Structures are given as C-alpha cells and as structure tokens.
Amino acid sequence: MHGYTGRILHVDLGSRAWRVDDLQPEIARDYLGGRGLGARILSDMMAPGTDPLSPEAPLIFATGPLTGTKAPTSGRFSLSGRSPLTGTILDTNCGGALGARLKGAGYDALVLTGAASEPTVLRVDEDGVAFESAGELAGCEVGEVTGALTGGRASTSAAVIGSAGERLVKLATIMVDAKRALGRGGMGAVMGSKRLKAVVVTGSGRPSVARPEDLEFFLYEVDKAIAANPVTSTVLPRFGTGMLVGVLGTRGLMPALNYRSDGRDYVEKLSGERLAEEFLVRRSGCWGCAIACGRQTRTAGGEGHGPEYETIWALGANLGIDELEQVVELNYLCNELGLDTISVGGTLAAAIELAEDGAPLPIKRGDFASVRAAIEALAHREGEMGEAAADGALALCEAYGRPDVAMQVKGLELPEYDPRGMQGQGLGYATSNRGGCHLRGNMLGFEVLGTPKLVDRSVVGGKAGLLIVAQHLGAALDSLSLCKFSSFALNEEHYARLYSAITGFDLSGQELLVCGERIWNLERVFNLSAGFTGAEDRLPTRLVEEPNAEGDVVHLEEMLSEYYRFRGWTPEGVPTPDKLARLGLYGS
Amino acid sequence: MYEEFRAIGRDILLSGLISSHGGNMSVRVGDRIVITRRGSMLGRLTERDIIETSLEHDDSEVALASTEIVVHRAIYAKTNGLAIVHTHSPHSVLRSMIEDEIVPIDSEASYLLHKVPVYSLPRTAGSSEVAETVSAALQEYKCVLLRGHGPFAIGTVLEEGFQWVSCLEMACKILNLRDSVGAECKEYREHGGEYGKW
C-alpha cells in the first residue's frame, strides 16, 4: 500500500504481548486513517458500555495516509478511545512529530489494551516494542519525563502524562514532546489507568507515494493556495491562534467569566499581537507545516510553549485574569501537570461563579494566586474542591447542587466561541460527537472569516446544512490526518487529489466528504449504543435563555430539527437504517 | 433567502452569463430544495419566483419549478453541495464546442478552477442523461460544462456557485480572445503545462 504502511501494532500492556495485524485496504478506503480508523477499530473492539478506565478499554494512536508525507501540515495523528469525562467516543488530534515517527517506525496505528502492573514506559520502533519500568520517572511532570526519554535520541518523540494523568484526573492530557497536547476528554487518565507513563516512538522511514509526478504538481498548487491566503500565510504565522482574541473579541464573540459577560474588555491586554510583541521567542511549527502557528514564549519565570487562543481565553478572560504574563505562566503549569487548559478554565470559571454565589470555594476572579493553587489542587486531587474539580465542571457543579452553572455539552467544557452570536456554532456544540467542542464542525470560516463564503452569523435557517459540511470535512481532515487550519486555504478537491496521488486510491472531493459522513455516523452510533440520545444534543440553559450583549440567544430547537432531517436521521436524532446502509454501516 | 436569490440572479444577468430568461439556481435546505421558477427572469426575481419542493419526491410545486430540477436533485443526491448555479455563459458555450476540457491560461482560473471538463449529450436540458452525467462529474469538480449548453457549478451558498461560473466565463473569454488574435501566448506559470492533470 502507498501512503499507508499497511500494519497495525497491537500491544497488551498486561501480558506484555504484542502483534502486528494487516490494515485491510477496504478499511483504509472507507475510513481513511486517523480519527476514522480509530473509530472503526474502537467500534470493533470495544463494547460501548465499557468503563473507559478499565484495562479492556482500548487507546488507539492512529496516523493518516498523509501523515509523514510531503503534504503540508501532515505531522498529525489522532488518539481515539472512550472518554472518561464524557462517556462518548472521543478522538483528539495532535500535531508535533509523533505521528510522522509512528508512521516512520512502520505502523499506521498503535492499539493499546490492558494495564501494566507498575508505571511503565513503552518504546516503539521498527523492530517492535520494549517495556521499561518508569522507575523514578513515575510521579514526575511532563518536561522532566520528556527530556529524560527523548534527549539525545534522533527521530524520537514521546507522549507523556503528568501527575494529573497518573491520578486519573478526568481533565488530564497526554503531552507530546512537552509542547503539543492530546488535549480534550481526559485521555491522560485513560493512559494513567493503564499505568503507562509514556509512549516513546522512534522512526524515520517515509511512506511510498503512488504517483510522485502528480503529487509534485498538486503540492505546488496547495502551497500556492496556502501562501496566498492571509490567514495561513500572514496572521497565523505572525500572531498564532491568539489572533482570534481580536477577531472574536471585538465582535462580541469571546465570552468572559463563565459566559456571564462578553470579553471585549480583555482584548487589548490578551491579544495575539501583544503575545507576539512581549513574550514570543520564536514561531514553532509541527512536522511538515509551513504555517507554524505555534508559539515558543518566555516570561520572567521561564520559557515554554504556547498559549493558544483557547488557553488565553480559558485561563484569562474566563477567569477574570487580564495580565497576559499570568495567563502564559498558568499555561506552562497546565502543560507541566498534563492538563487540558480549556476544561481547566471552564471548570475553574464555574468554581468562581459558585463561590460568588456563596459556595465555600477558595478561588476568586482575577486572582492569579488562588487560580494557580486551584490548578495544582485539581491536578493532585487535593482538598474538597480539588477532588470535585478533577472530574470536570459538571461534576463540580453537581457537587454543589448547581449543574446549570457548568458550561458544558455532554460533560465536555465549552470552548470560547460564544454561540449566541454564531448560531451555527451553537448547533455545532450541541451536536458534536465528543461534547462541547469547536473543532468538530467549526463555523468560524462561514460565520466570521468568510471561508469559503461569509454568511450571516445571526441567521438560523440553513445553518444545519453548512455545519454538516463542516463536520464532514473536519472528520475527513482528522482522518487524513491534516491540520484544520489548512482548510482556510484549501478545499476538499485539494485534499482528495493529494490523497489519490499519495495512495493511488482514486477519490473525488465529494467522496472524501462521504468518508467524513461515514465516520460521523459511526461515532453517533457508538454514542447511541453507549446510552446517549438526542436529549443530550443540548446547550447550557444560559446560552438559550440569557441574551448576550446584543440581545441574542441560541435558537437551538429550530436548527436541531433541521439538522436531524438534513442528516437523514429520525426526529429523535437516530440514523435510519437506510442512512446507515447507504454509508455501509448497517449492522454497526 | 429570497434576498440572496435576487441579488445573485441580478448579478448573473448583469455579468452577461444568461439571456433574459435563461439559467437557474437552487439551494438545498435539509430535505427540501428551493429552486427558481420555470421561466423566471433571474435578473428580476420576486418572491413568487422561488419555489420550494421536496429534495427527493415530486409534489404539486414541481409544476412550477425549473425544468432542470431533475439535474439539481441528482446533484444534491451525489454531492455535498448546498447550492447550484447554472448559466448559459456565451464564451463558455463557444469554448465547449471547441474543446473536450477547458484548461484556463489566466491566473485566476488556473488558481481557482485548474480544469473544467466538457460533456457532450444530445439532449442538453433537464434530461436524466444530463442529470446522471453532470451529478457524477460534480463529484470530482466544482464546475463542469455541458457542450453547447453551459456550466453547472456547486457551492455552499449561491455566491460560491456564481463565482465558479463567472470565473470559468472569464477564462473562456480569454481563450477565445487569444484564438481570435491568433497570437501565441507566453507561459508565465510554473507547471503551466500540467493543469490538464487536475
């Protein structure tokens, strides 16, 4: 197979047995790789009701057919499993270089099951796997562990959990090379439940290409489009994703204080421009990326990676903190402990609101010291608040009898696009298969940036169709695996031609979107089998009842019924047998 | 939605892409299709010229819908397009009777379209053959050309479809001007000879 290695590595951490299975070509064609391949493997291996923190629960690292190739932004890979935070199927997509290393070692995917008897480091290379005791690295934080495991080794990357993952904190990330996060849904806790401190991958091989001459031309066109688009060629490289502080904040689309107010007052102090001027050491790109939106930054307290827009908002405006240096340092802290900054910010913002409503919680808005202490307590499950917050915003708010305060969907804390001003994004949050997430159908292009075309963000009618296209394209990109930022400049035609030239499998742009639809429906079926229903396609009451500064709320019900019809699902949100049959999923 | 139809229809007429009563447009809204009325003037659309019917099943409203509804339905069935624009663009039509595929030489169309295939069918309007051929071709390309008839383009909104047919028309106009001038154009693009691969 071209583009693929055709090999899937299965490792049982309990018995320390491993084997290599063939990747079936028809699976590759239908699910592409990455997120799609992960969803397929998970659905085949795991009963949806399985406890995500049990040894039986698989943890799947999956590359895409474009991972490690000359396609731009192709260093990515996906991690799939069942989320301990939400109970949904969950994939989390990551940059850096680990994806290219895994492909370089000769594997399309690494499937982990079982649980080790002691804290363990798993090494993977072209010869197979080796198991090592984590020894003194157990209990250490991300930077130290990553340095010890990768320092001085060529073509090596490490996926590491910090103390949060070891303590099964449901907001725990897996950090890749101490810079990039497998961020959302608490997959660090799944790794911790397997007593797996780190996965270290060494590999330098490159996948073969079916039609090199075609690929060269398509790459030329793709590079030209990325260079011509101001988002990918100018704004993201210069200001990182922090550019969204200005873009969204000035339009009243960046909320503050747990969605209780809008974040206009934070724009000047927390902007991407300011981050670049005062803290940027150098730009940082993932493997094979010309955009290089990553930020290597420095404060008086040290140097580290980030923050991105989501973090600037989550640990800044959402907590009432308007000192950018403090936000940068809180980001470093979360990276070290191995915590998802969006979920931590959402959880602590809820804690602040609870405290302001009278709950005895030791945290105050805008107070760096109490926020920092709360993050450490959360990561170590210390104290009453730390223990409750370690299971996320909903668990914390339920513990204090106020579940309405948690800004979450399906248990996943919301990110930072206020959907009261972006109706389509609201529908996207509600229908995301992994809960409150902006990346599972991002309407930023349609509703704000005008890519491919600008539509009225306050209008409700027609948003279902646009969102569905975005959801399918997003699923396809996560499966190829390419960075979503490339889609500001490229479209499905570009992606399909790259895929066809690399793999030799002829695929049209529309067929690529059908692959995305197949993956989306498979994920939906998994969630329904795990007990979710259309009743969970909901938004927090605040967003549908409490107007923003412009007087808008999300008109979810109207969009949701259109969305189900558009998808060919029942009014209850269940894919029909006919729909599943058309996608080759009948029986899933 | 009416405002979008009205504005794009007016632009299509003013761009010279249709005659007074030519062309048609539609938008998919879930399991419904909103399409221009048969015989309507795209340059003077009123709310009565916008017909809503089922995406898959005929009902009485189909009596009012564009003759090309069968083509539009087939396109929506096979693609993720949410809007369709069909025009009778003169330079594109002329070029379609000369070549089997349009490979633009101008910068904008090279960048946006790369290549547009041409399909030749004896029954050019509203036939099942057109529906089958055009819908299949639009799985591969955003804009395709029917010989002697005109382009069909898909987009997420009408404006996008309009952009593709407008860009194609400009590309064909430049090709036709080149031929009428009779001069050989100098290549300025890297990989200029490879756009036919798209």
The whole-angstrom separation of Cα A357 and Cα A483 is: 41
Compare all CA atoms of chain B with the CA of A498 and give the residue at the minimum distance: B198
Q: How many domains does chain B have?
A: 1
- A469/B82 CB distance under 8 A: yes
- Smallest CA-to-CA distance from A456 within B17, B149, B14, B157 is with B157
Inside any domain, residue B6: yes
Query: Could you tell me if A225 lies within 8 Å of chain B, comparing CB atoms?
Result: yes
Q: Which chain B residue lies closest to A496 (C-alpha atoms)?
A: B140
Say yes or no: A149 contacts chain B, CB-CB below 8 A.
no
pLDDT at res. A324? 98
State which residues form the domain around B125: 2-181
CA distance A243 to A237: 10
Report yes or no: A323 and A335 within 8 Å, Cβ to Cβ: no
Residue A254 tokens, joined: 């960046």
At B78, which CATH number? 3.40.225.10
Could you tell me where the DSSP H helices lie in chain B? Answer: 2-14, 69-78, 90-96, 107-112, 128-137, 158-181
Instruction: Tell me which residue in A464, A493, A517 faces B142 most closely, judged by beta carbons.
Output: A493
CB within 8 Å of A63: residues ≥ 6 apart: A33, A34, A77, A99, A100, A102, A103, A107, A108, A109, A481
Q: CB distance from A499 to chain B under 8 Å?
A: no
Tell whether B80 lies on the interface with A, counting CB pairs under 8 A: yes
User: Which residues of chain A neighbour B78 with C-beta distances below 8 Å?
Assistant: 510
Is the residue at B99 inside a domain? yes
Please judge whether B29 and A510 are an interchain contact, meaning their C-beta atoms are less than 8 angstroms apart.
no
Residue A288 pLDDT: 85
- Residues 6+ positions from A482 with CB-CB distance below 8 Å: A64, A66, A71, A72, A73, A74, A76, A495
Q: What is the rounded distance in angstroms from the CA atom of residue A267 to the CA atom of residue B28?
A: 38
* C-alpha span between A87 and A527 (Å, rounded): 8
Q: Which residues of A59-80 are buried (b: 16+ CB within 10 A; e: fewer)?
A: bbbbbbbbbbbbbbbbbbbbbb
Residue B94 lies in a domain: yes
Residue among B28, B79, B159 whose CB faces A465 most closely: B28
A578 touches chain B (CB under 8 A): no
Give the alpha-carbon dihedral of A151, A152, A158, A162, to 10 degrees.
-10
Closest CA to B5 of B34, B31, B39, B30: B34
Q: Which residue of A has its CA nearest to B193?
A: A217
- pLDDT of A27 reads 97
What is d(CA A66, CA A480) in angstroms, rounded to the nearest whole number? 6
Q: What is chain B's Cα-based Rg?
A: 17
Task: Give pLDDT < 50 ranges for chain A.
Answer: none
Q: Flag whether B62 is in a domain.
A: yes
Task: Provide the 10 A C-beta neighbour count for residue A22.
Answer: 11
* Residue in A with minimal Cα distance to B112: A225
Q: List chain B residues with pLDDT less than 70.
A: none
- What's the confidence (pLDDT) of residue B62? 80
Question: Could you please report the per-residue DSSP string of B61-93?
Answer: GGGTB-TTHHHHHHHHHHS--SEEEE---HHHH
Nearest CA in chain A to B158: A453
User: Which of A222, A449, A510 would best serve as a mutation to test chain B binding (most B beta carbons within 10 A)?
Assistant: A510
Residue in chain A closest to B191 (alpha carbons) equals A217
For A264, A326, A354, A363, the CA distances from A371, given in Å and listed in that order, are 22, 10, 14, 6
**Which of A224, A497, A511 has its CB closest to that of B139?**
A511
CA atoms within 13 A on the CB side of B55: 19
Note the pLDDT of residue A588: 59
**DSSP element (H, E) containing A268:** helix A267-270
The answer to whether the Cβ–Cβ distance between B31 and A465 falls below 8 Å is no
B166-178 b/e with 16+ CB inside 10 Å = b?
A: bbbbbbbbbbbee
Per-residue pLDDT reduced to its tens digit, B105-156: 999 999 999 999 999 998 777 788 999 999 999 999 999 999 999 999 999 9
Distance, in Å, from the CA atom of A255 to the CA atom of A420, rounded to the nearest integer, reads: 10
DSSP string covering A275-329, please? Answer: HHHHTEEEEE--TT-SS--EEEEEETTEEEE---HHHHHHTTGGGT---HHHHHH
Of the candidates A523, A524, A516, A558, the one whose C-alpha atom is nearest the C-alpha of residue A539 is A558
SS3 A241: helix
CB pairs under 8 A between A and B: 66
Judge whether B192 lies within some domain. no
Instruction: Estimate the share of chain B in helix, then strand, then coil, as percent rounded to the nearest 5.
Output: 45, 20, 35
B189 falls within a domain: no
Whether the ipTM is more than 0.85: the answer is: no
The answer to whether residue B146 is domain-embedded is: yes
Domains and CATH numbers, chain A: 7-202 (3.60.9.10), 236-408 (1.10.569.10), 423-488+508-582 (1.10.599.10)
In a domain, B194, yes or no: no
HEC readout, A77-116: EEEEEECCCCCCEEEEEECCCHHHHHHHCCCCEEEEECCC
Testing the interface with A: which of B32, B84, B139, B190 to mutate, by most A Cβ within 10 A? B139
Taking contacts as CB-CB distances below 8 angstroms, the residues of chain B near A443 are none
The span from the CA of A382 to the CA of A15, in Å, is 33
Q: Is B155 on the interface with A (CB under 8 A)?
A: yes
Give me the residue label for tokens 């991002």.
A442
- End-to-end CA distance of chain A: give it in Å, rounded: 26
Sign of the torsion formed by the C-alpha atoms of A460, A462, A464 and A468: negative
Q: Which residue is it, tokens 């696009």?
A: A417
CA separation for the pair A350, A318 (Å, rounded): 9
